[in-house]
Amino acid sequence: MQRLANFIGGAFVPPASGSYLEDVGPATGEVIAEIPDSDARDVDAAVAAARAAFPVWSRTPTEQRSRLLLRLADLIEQNLEELVQMESRDNGKSVSLARRLDIPRAVLNFRFFATAILHQASEAHVTDATALNYTLRQPLGVAGLISPWNLPLYLLSWKIAPAIASGNTCVAKPSELTPLTANRLAELSLEAGIPAGVINIVHGLGGKAGAALTKHPNVPLISFTGGTVTGASVAANAAPLFKKLSLELGGKNPNLIFADADLDDAVATSLRSSFWNQGEICLCGSRIFVERSAYDAFLERFIAATKQLRIGDPSEETTDIGALVSEAHMQKVLGYIELAKEEGGTVATGGNRVDRPGFFVEPTIITGLGCDRRVLQEEIFGPVVTVTPFDSEDEAIAFANSTRYGLSATVWTRDLQRAHRVAAALDSGTIWINTWLLRDLRVPFGGMKESGVGREGGMHSLEFFTEAKNVCVKL
C-alpha cells in the first residue's frame, strides 16, 4: 500500500498528526493508498518553506524560470502513460480520456505559462510633459492553491504553472479524493530542478488543511476550484485578511440546439459534453434545450447514441464511461435521479447503478421536466442530463439563464446573427458556438453569478498572480 507524504521544502515529510486518510479507488471500492491527514501545523511548515524560497525564486531571471517549467512539462510528457494510469486509478475516469485530455493539458499548462512570461507586456502612460507612469507587475509571495478531484493534475497544473511562472512560490492542497498525480508532480518537480520550497504540496481534508491555508496570514492570494458552497467558505475565510481571490465554482450549463443546427454534429458533441468524465466536468452541458421542431429527431438520435456508450473498467481502452469518484458522490447522483422521477420526469435511458464493484452509474437522460425543477436548478455533477423543448429564441435564452450559475453555455445554430445575438444574451463566462470544450489558453476563463469570481487563463492568470503597481516619475 502506497503511503504518501507531504512535499515541503523539497522533502517528503509525514503529517504532524501522524495520522492518515484512505484513498479509495473508484473502480473497485478498495483502498489504493494512504495520504497525510494534515492540519494547520503542516500548512504552517509548508508556508514557511514557501516564504523562505520566495526571495530567490522571485528574483530568478524570467528565462531561467521559463526553462525550469519547460523541463517539468517535458518530464510530465515523458511520464505520460504512468500518469494516465495513475489518474484513471485514482479518479475513475477512463484511461482514454486521461490520455486525451487530463495529462496532455497538464503538459500544455506548464508550457503555455513558461513561454507566456517571456512575452508579458506592461504599460506606460505619459502625462503630457509632466510625468511618466509605468505599471510594475511583481509576484505577491506565497500562493495558496486548492484544486478539486474531477480533473486532478489538469487543474492543479492550471494553478501551479502561472503561480510559479510569475515568480511566486506556492502551497497546493489537492483534493483528498485524488492525491496520486499531485504526489508524482512533486517528484517530477525535484527532477526538473525546481528549487526546494517553490512548490509545496499538503494533502488532507478540505475543512482542515484546506481551511488552514485559506486562513493563513502569510498567504496573500488564494486560487480555488471546487464547489460553490465550498467557494463561499473559502471566500469567508479569505475576506478578513483581504486576500486576492480567484474562485472557479460549479456550473449547470445550458446546451441550446436550434432546429437549423447540424444535428449529427450536435448529437455527437452533446454526447461528449454530457457524459465525458462521467459528467464530472464543471463545463458539461447538463441542461439540453432543443427547438421543438427538432426535439423528437434529436432525442431519438441522442438516446440511441447514449445507449452505445461502453461503461466499465476505466483501465480498459474501449471504456467510455468509468466510475464516479466516490461512494458518496455516486449516492448523490443516484439521489438526483430519484428526485427527477419524484418531480415528474421520465428516465428516457439509464438511471441505474451498474451492478459491479465500484461506483458506476449508467449515462442517464431525463425528459419532461421544466426549468423550475430542482434537477434543472442544482448541479448534479454526474452522467445525468435533461432534455427539454423550447418554442422561441427568447424562451431558449430565458431557460438558459434560469439558474444561479453562469459558467459556460453551448449554442448550436447555423444562423450567424442568431449565434452572436444569443451569445451576447447568455449569462455565462464561456459560450461555445457549434462546438464544446475547445480551449485557447489565452482567453479569459471563469464563471458569472454563483459559478465564480475572477478570470484565469492566459495573461489573465499572470495578472491574477502578480500585483500591479503604478510608478509615476515627474519629468
Could you list the residues that contact ligand TXE (CB under 6 A)? Answer: 146-150, 173-176, 206-207, 210-211, 214, 225-227, 230, 233-234, 248-251, 282, 379, 381, 407, 447, 451-452
Q: How far is the CB of 460 from ligand TXE (least distance, A)?
A: 14
Can you tell me the distance from the alpha carbon of 77 to that of 91, in angstroms, rounded to the nearest whole number?
20
Q: How far is the CB of 415 from ligand TXE (least distance, A)?
A: 29
Q: How far is the CB of 39 from ligand TXE (least distance, A)?
A: 13
Which of the residues 248, 362, 379, 450 is marked catalytic? 248
Q: Could you tell me whether strands 20-25 and 30-36 are parallel, antiparallel, or unpaired per DSSP bridges?
A: antiparallel
Say whether 177 sits in a helix, a strand or coil.
coil
Q: How far is the CB of 416 from ligand TXE (least distance, A)?
A: 29
| Residue 221: partners with Cβ closer than 8 Å, 6 or more residues away | 140, 143, 144, 168, 243, 244, 245, 246, 464, 465
Q: How far is the CB of 157 from ligand TXE (least distance, A)?
A: 13
CB nearer to ligand TXE: pick between 176 and 313: 176
Is the distance from CB of 71 to CB of 242 less than 8 angstroms? no
CB nearer to ligand TXE: pick between 147 and 386: 147
Q: How far is the CB of 216 from ligand TXE (least distance, A)?
A: 11
Q: Report phi then psi at 468, rounded to 5.
A: -100, 120
| Residue 141: partners with Cβ closer than 8 Å, 6 or more residues away | 51, 54, 168, 169, 218, 219, 220
CB nearer to ligand TXE: pick between 298 and 336: 336
Can you tell me the distance from the alpha carbon of 70 to that of 333, in angstroms, rounded to the nearest whole number?
39
**Three cell numbers written together for 448:** 458569472
Please, what is the Cα angle at 99 between 93 and 101, to 5 degrees?
80
**Is 248 noted as a catalytic residue in this protein?**
yes
Which of the residues 87, 170, 282, 284 is marked catalytic? 282
Can you tell me the distance from the alpha carbon of 385 to that of 239, in angstroms, rounded to the nearest whole number?
36
CB nearer to ligand TXE: pick between 149 and 432: 149
- What letter represents residue 58's amino acid? S
**Is 379 noted as a catalytic residue in this protein?**
no
CB nearer to ligand TXE: pick between 69 and 245: 245
CB nearer to ligand TXE: pick between 42 and 313: 42
**Three cell numbers written together for 69:** 517549467
Can you tell me the distance from the alpha carbon of 303 to that of 179, in angstroms, rounded to the nearest whole number?
35
Residue of 201, 169, 167, 206 lying closest to 187 (CA atoms): 201
Is the distance from CB of 452 to CB of 429 less than 8 angstroms? yes
Catalytic residues: 248, 282
